[in-house]
């Protein structure tokens, strides 16, 4: 047995022996620091530990819940999450964000007061305009716990009460054959309705191949209403085509048709070798936003919905990681 395989076997034995550990940060470590290792024998995933002071992303944009940083099927890799990065402003893998442009009560707060960022906690407003990219001072973080097994991890996050708002977010990362299923449930524990926007910033990079003409992105429906806002990618029917080399970042917005669908699918393929298919279901899909650089492409399916007091809303995102591409 090679040294690499020996270390991997010992690591997986540690996970199995640890069993279900609630709130412990010691279940296992991976080449990326402070992650959980999940595996079902077919697919392997590295999931960020939510409460570690040295976790991969420590900013106030993305939630610390259910962040999958790396996925591999045998020797094939599907996500971009470099070791060298700014943990306060950058993330990788499958990083989720709530209310990207207008967090709860931001507009009503004066400078110096708090606002609620779902998935993060209560933050302090320090300017008139919200900027999702930069970190904000944390007044009080939402409390997050988790329970891990060898092929799944479940998260529970509860926010502090803030101006009549309070929520419970439950999420799970489940491995089934070559799929990763992200289940989400948001319960409104407060007295005021929550307006919710959610997306996953999918940092896709198939075996590290630079984004270019070898890739195709299929949106599963006509993208005729879409617009290329930056870069020289092309919209061709249901597909997004990239230039030979992405030298300038690509930004594309594709609104959903009316009435809004409650299920959407995207497929990213690299030639005839690898593909990843994402299915979002359960809540209204309002648009698909595509951001691409040379290192990765991020097709993001935005969903929006209200959650009334005492109500709970569920939605699912399923990722199919395939070692053979789907024909055009």
Q: Is residue 163 part of a domain?
A: yes
Q: State residue 5 phi and psi, 5-degree precision.
A: -70, -35
Sign of CA dihedral 94, 99, 101, 104: negative
Q: Are 263 and 286 in contact (CB under 8 A)?
A: no
Q: Are 205 and 93 in contact (CB under 8 A)?
A: no
State yes or no: pLDDT of 2 exceeds 70: no
Q: Are 20 and 149 in contact (CB under 8 A)?
A: yes
Q: Is residue 109 part of a domain?
A: no
Q: Is residue 310 part of a domain?
A: yes
162: CATH: 2.70.98.10
Q: Is residue 214 part of a domain?
A: yes
CB atoms within 10 A of CB 244: 9
The predicted model gives 49-56 an average pLDDT of 97
pLDDT in tens, 113-132: 999 999 999 999 999 999 99
Domains of the chain: total: 1
Cis peptide before 259 (omega within 30 of 0): yes
Q: Are 238 and 218 in contact (CB under 8 A)?
A: yes
Q: Which domain holds residue 310?
A: 3-101+139-322
Give burial (CB, 10 Å; 0-12/13-18/19+) of 136: buried
Q: Is residue 118 part of a domain?
A: no
Q: Is residue 317 part of a domain?
A: yes
Q: Is residue 70 part of a domain?
A: yes
pLDDT in tens, 26-44: 333 346 889 999 999 999 9
To the question of pTM greater than 0.85 for the whole model, the response is yes
> What is the C-alpha to C-alpha distance for residues 281 and 269, in angstroms, rounded to an integer?
21
Q: Is residue 210 part of a domain?
A: yes
């Amino acid at each position: 047995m090679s040294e690499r395989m020996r270390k991997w076997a010992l690591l997986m034995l540690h996970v199995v022996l640890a069993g279900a550990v609630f709130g412990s940060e010691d279940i296992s470590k991976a080449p990326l620091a402070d992650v959980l290792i999940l595996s079902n024998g077919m697919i392997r995933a590295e999931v960020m530990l939510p409460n570690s002071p040295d976790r991969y992303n420590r900013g106030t944009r993305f939630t610390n819940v259910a962040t999958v940083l790396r996925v591999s099927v045998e020797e094939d890799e599907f996500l971009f999450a470099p070791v060298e990065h700014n943990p306060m402003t950058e993330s990788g893998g499958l990083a989720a964000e709530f209310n990207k442009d207008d967090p709860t009560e931001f507009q009503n707060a004066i400078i110096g007061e708090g606002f609620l960022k779902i998935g993060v906690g209560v933050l302090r407003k320090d300017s008139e305009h919200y900027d999702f990219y930069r970190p904000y001072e944390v007044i009080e973080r939402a409390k997050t716990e988790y329970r891990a097994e060898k092929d799944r991890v479940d998260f529970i996050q509860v926010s502090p009460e803030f101006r009549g708002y309070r929520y419970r977010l439950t999420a799970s990362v489940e491995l089934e054959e070559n799929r990763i299923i992200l289940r989400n449930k948001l319960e409104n524990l407060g007295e005021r309705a929550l307006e919710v926007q959610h997306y996953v910033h999918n940092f896709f990079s198939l075996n590290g191949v630079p984004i270019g003409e070898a890739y195709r992105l299929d949106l599963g429906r006509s993208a005729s209403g879409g617009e290329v806002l930056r870069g020289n990618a092309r919209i061709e029917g249901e597909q997004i085509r990239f230039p030979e080399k992405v030298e300038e970042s690509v930004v594309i917005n594709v609104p959903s048709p009316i009435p809004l669908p409650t299920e959407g699918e995207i497929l990213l393929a690299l030639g005839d070798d690898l593909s990843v298919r994402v299915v979002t279901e359960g809540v209204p899909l309002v648009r698909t936003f595509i951001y691409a650089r040379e290192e990765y492409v991020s097709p993001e399916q935005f969903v929006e919905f209200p959650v009334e007091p005492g109500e709970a809303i569920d939605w699912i995102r399923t990722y199919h990681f395939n070692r053979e591409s789907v024909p055009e």
